[in-house]
A and B are shown apart, each in its own frame.
Chain A
Amino acid sequence: MNSFNQPLRSAGAWVDVEAGTASRAIFSDEEIWRLEQEKVFAKSWLFLAHETEIPEPGDHVTRQLGNDPVLVVRGEDGRIRAFHNSCVHRGTKLCRTDAGNSKTFTCPYHGWVYGLDGKLQATVYPPEVAAKIGESTSSLIEMAQVDSYAGLIFGTWDETAPSLDQYLGDSRFYIDLFANRTQGGMEVLGPPQRWVFKANWKLGALNFAADGPHAASVHGPITYLTLQVPPEQILQQLINSPAVVIGEGHNCIFLEYPGEAPDYAGFSPALVPLYQQQLNQAQQRMLARGLTKVMTNFPNTSWVESSVTFDDKTPPIPFCNLRTWQPLSAQSTEVWNWLLVEKEAAEEFKQQSYEIGIRTFAAGGTFDQDDAEAWSAINLGCRGSIGSRYEVDFRATKHYRDEPIENFPGPGVAYPSTFSEMSEFALLAHWQKVMSAGSDC
């Protein structure tokens, strides 16, 4: 932090856990957004890429974390490193492609050359000058820690952050249900899609933490069109399905199959034995009964899986969606959206899962199209000087917060209904805690 930056305001008490409310300003205020960059995004573990995007030495992909470009590289030694994607000379964005394979990175401006380990290898400067600018000792700004869980590469700018395993904590039980359920693990079906909506990143993160009630009002019709599930039944399932506060800001909901559906109803029968080998009993029970599961890993990595069909001849096919919500500004967010599939799956299944994925949760997705509309509308309702004086309402939590489910099979504290809004609100409560850390408030 240098003296040119505006002094940051300290955290306010934006989320009132007791009252079940939060200030609308957290969705539009630029100062809060700037504080978030320091308190949340500079300190958390952030999802970068999937290992199958960069399988070979020299493979790299470029990413955006907020407004910071990041280069994720697999080195000659097989190790994955992540760098601020900017030349240390004048800060020029170094690698300007989306993906590639190379042995070095050459800056487009004055031609400084960096190795896959980020070390400055050569400049065109005369030797005596090169010595001064540290030709042999300079290197790219590296993320403080980079680690993987289940093929998912995360990085943090904070060298004092706990390990990734500690950070993900109990959410690993649930991540396993999405992405660590066969021995071979998952692969990406392609590069991430990217699109921008004009609203705060937390609206996406909260929606996937997850907002059960909206699924009836917003997605009821498309669920009916695709799966022929009547809206009344969807509503009942949402009311009767659990919301799980996993802890440390990680949260999810599980929409369960109605009682009469067989176990693993939406899954490929060929993969079920692999799930049974890989997962523990409690995980198997949850996967087998889960129709739709939606989760956010704090702060901005989200998941959704369900089974859908777009044609009356084919049974529902599952898709597995992973995304991040990149905070471009207080009122604009870029979504990075991946689809994953089991490596062991048959080619035909992979293609089907891919098609279902892009028709549901993607830029052209029939579910996403309505979510982004709702978040844009929230932005319009909250950003004004009058609007931002008021609160958003999570008072449904008051009805449920003392009534967790006993003997829920997974870790965390589960509540009996997605209408409890407990898991969604828990993300905000954690956000408040992180924002207040180190200040008096």
Chain B
Amino acid sequence: MPGTDSTMARLLLSGEALSDGDFRRVYDFLNLESDCLGLGEYETWYGLLSPAVTYKVLAPAFLDATRPRRYGRENAYFDDDYASLGIRVKQLTTPGFTIAENPATISRHFVTNIRGVANGEGIEVVSNVLVVRVRSTEPEPGVVSARRFDRLVETPEGLRIESRLAQLDQVSLQQLNLSFFI
């Protein structure tokens, strides 16, 4: 998404840097989340979302550096809310509801380059993620990588994801589907 990176850069420069303790909490939270996704613990993952969550995954484009032309809406792979993510979670977790995930894809989420800034309402976090997928029908590992912008909010139960925007890195996705979360 154009501008997201520069907005984040401004925030990181101007916002209050995370204390070591907060950074550790964010780090642990994102690791817990990536374990849930990698292990297929989607219901636990769903519990890490705020009911007000917005979840977007965008496709990039190759555009001319001096004369970029975009048209229509941003090209989203996911543009979801709590209810629609709930249906996706049901589809992925109910045996017999999706042949794409039975047998389940073997996958691993690697989250790196984590930075964050507190801004009163929560913690803005930027990270990179690499997903490696091995499927029963495509034994060659597939990779999907993205830059993620998250807003985490404090709740009595701990941090929760209130918004996620993942900017994928492949213009033509070298994957047969996106039957997972990023």
User: Is the Cβ of A97 less than 8 Å from the Cβ of B64?
Assistant: yes
Which residues of the other chain, B, contact A191 by a CB distance below 8 angstroms?
Answer: 59, 61, 70-72, 75
Instruction: Return A167 CB to nearest CB of chain B, in Å.
Output: 27
Task: List, in ascending order, chain A residues with CB within 8 A of B28's CB.
Answer: none
In the complex, the answer to whether A376 meets B137 with C-beta atoms within 8 Å is yes
Choice from B57, B173, B176 contacting A194 with Cβ under 8 Å: B173
How many whole Å from B176's CB to the nearest CB in chain A? 4
A196 touches B173 (CB 8 A): yes
Residue of B nearest to A226 (CB): B87
| Interface size grouping (class) on chain A | 35 or more
B83 contacts the other chain (CB 8 A)? yes
Chain B CB within 8 A of A165 CB:
no
Contact call A373/B64, Cβ cutoff below 8 A? no
* Contacting pair A102 B64 (CB below 8 A): yes
Assess whether A311 is in contact with B81, with CB atoms less than 8 Å apart.
yes
Q: Is A312 an interface residue (CB 8 A)?
A: yes
Determine the main DSSP class of B at the interface with A.
loop
| Given contact pairs A100-B68, A369-B179, A376-B138, A311 touches B83 in the complex (Cβ within 8 A) | yes
Tell me if A193 and B75 are in contact (CB < 8 A).
Answer: yes
Asked if A22 is an interface residue, CB under 8 A from chain B, the answer is no
Chain B interface size band reads 35 or more
Q: Does B98 contact A (CB under 8 A)?
A: yes
How far apart sit A313 and B57, CA to CA, in the bound complex (Å)? 24
| A313-B83 Cα distance, complex, nearest whole Å | 10
Q: When the two chains form their complex, are residues B69 and A193 in contact, meaning their CB atoms are under 8 A apart? A: no
Residue of A nearest to B84 (CB): A310
**Does any Cβ of B come within 8 Å of A377's Cβ?**
yes
Q: Is A109 in the interface zone, CB < 8 Å from B?
A: no
Q: Are B137 and A373 in contact (CB under 8 A)?
A: yes
Contacts of B177 in A (CB 8 A): 195, 197, 363-365, 368-370, 372-373
Contact of B84 among A354, A359, A370 (CB under 8 A): A359
Q: Enumerate chain B residues within 8 angstroms of A221, measured Cβ to Cβ.
A: 91, 94, 96-98
**For the complex, what is the distance from the CA of A311 to the CA of B81, rounded to whole Å?**
9
What are 12 inter-chain pairs, A to B, with CB distance below 8 A?
Answer: A96-B62, A98-B61, A99-B70, A100-B68, A193-B77, A197-B177, A221-B94, A359-B79, A370-B100, A372-B177, A379-B137, A380-B137
Q: A101-B69, A102-B67, A380-B137 are in contact. List 6 more A-B contacts (CB 8 A).
A: A98-B171, A99-B61, A191-B75, A195-B172, A363-B175, A366-B91
9 smallest CB-CB distances across A and B, nearest first, come from: A190-B72, A310-B84, A376-B137, A369-B177, A197-B176, A372-B176, A311-B83, A221-B97, A195-B173
